[in-house]
Amino acid sequence: DQQVKQNSPSLSVQEGRISILNCDYTNSMFDYFLWYKKYPAEGPTFLISISSIKDKNEDGRFTVFLNKSAKHLSLHIVPSQPGDSAVYFCAASARTGNQFYFGTGTSLTVIP
Amino acid sequence: NAGVMQNPRHLVRRRGQEARLRCSPMKGHSHVYWYRQLPEEGLKFMVYLQKENIIDESGMPKERFSAEFPKEGPSILRIQQVVRGDSAAYFCASSPVGVMSNQPQHFGDGTRLSIL
């Protein structure tokens, strides 16, 4: 039962353009959402998060948008840089739970 | 290194042997989580421990798998009588508070387990 879904396994973007990574969830109890970045042979690194009381959170080049009615969140990276090339995972949790639920990841390639 | 430390980074075992994976959380973190990542899949929650206690093991197979987080020393994920299907990357994460406090978890670099 995949409660967090990333339907695009891969994405290629030109350097300097915007990268948009999408994530959908099914559990309406989720109230905290995160994005992690993962390089090969390394663990996921926390990137940015958002709680359900907000619809946008920005940190430098990274912005996360949350649409609760659509159960959808997205990560915008602008401008994209070659060093952003990695696998991006979205994750979600509920206050009543003990775990984060992860999507299957989107592999982003930023072309110089 | 103040991050989450996992060892070994790579572990090769033959079918039927035991695998022990270790995780030292970040300093000051008393909450430890283990995840498994199969090829082409996301991270799947296995178990959540807080010092000396298993809080939630709902994601862990009922047989052959066990986890502990003793008062002193690292957290251990133990897999007995390993089978080919146990081949995966096992990640440990830690946090200073539980999931309900809306704080991110910090991950180690994982242990890649290969079963021959």
- Give percent of chain B above pLDDT 90: 81
Minimal C-alpha gap between B80 and chain A (Å): 24
In this structure, what token pair is assigned to residue A97?
A: 């739970």
Among the partner-chain residues B40, B55, B104, the one whose CB lies closest to the CB of A34 is B104
The answer to whether A30 contacts chain B (CB < 8 Å) is: no
The answer to whether A35 contacts chain B (CB < 8 Å) is: no
The answer to whether B2 contacts chain A (CB < 8 Å) is: no
> CB of A88 within 8 A of CB of A37?
yes
Among the partner-chain residues A4, A97, A104, the one whose CB lies closest to the CB of B41 is A104
DSSP for residue B84: G
pLDDT under 50: residue ranges of chain A: none
Query: In the prediction, which pLDDT does B37 show?
Result: 94
* A-chain residues near B48 (CB < 8 A): 98-99
Mean pLDDT of all residues in chain B? 93
Overall average pLDDT of the B19-30 stretch: 95
In this structure, what token pair is assigned to residue B96?
A: 């200073």
Among the partner-chain residues A32, A36, A98, the one whose CB lies closest to the CB of B102 is A32
| pLDDT tier, B58 (very low <50, low <70, confident <90, very high otherwise) | very high
Backbone angles phi, psi at A47, to 5 degrees: -110, -60
Overall average pLDDT of the B82-106 stretch: 91
Query: In the prediction, which pLDDT does B39 show?
Result: 80
Query: In the prediction, which pLDDT does B19 show?
Result: 98
Rounded-to-integer distance, Cα B87 and Cα B17, Å = 13
Closest CA relative to residue B59, chosen from B75, B69, B46: B46
Rounded-to-integer distance, Cα B17 and Cα A8, Å = 38
Query: In the prediction, which pLDDT does B97 show?
Result: 81
pLDDT digits (tens, 9 = 90+) for A66-84: 999 999 999 999 999 999 9
C-beta atoms surrounding B101 within 10 Å: 12
Q: Residue ranges of the alpha helices (H) in chain B?
A: none
- Give percent of chain B above pLDDT 70: 98
The answer to whether B90 contacts chain A (CB < 8 Å) is: no
Max CA separation in chain B (angstroms): 41
Closest CA relative to residue A100, chosen from A39, A48, A35: A35
Query: In the prediction, which pLDDT does A95 show?
Result: 86
C-beta atoms surrounding B97 within 10 Å: 11
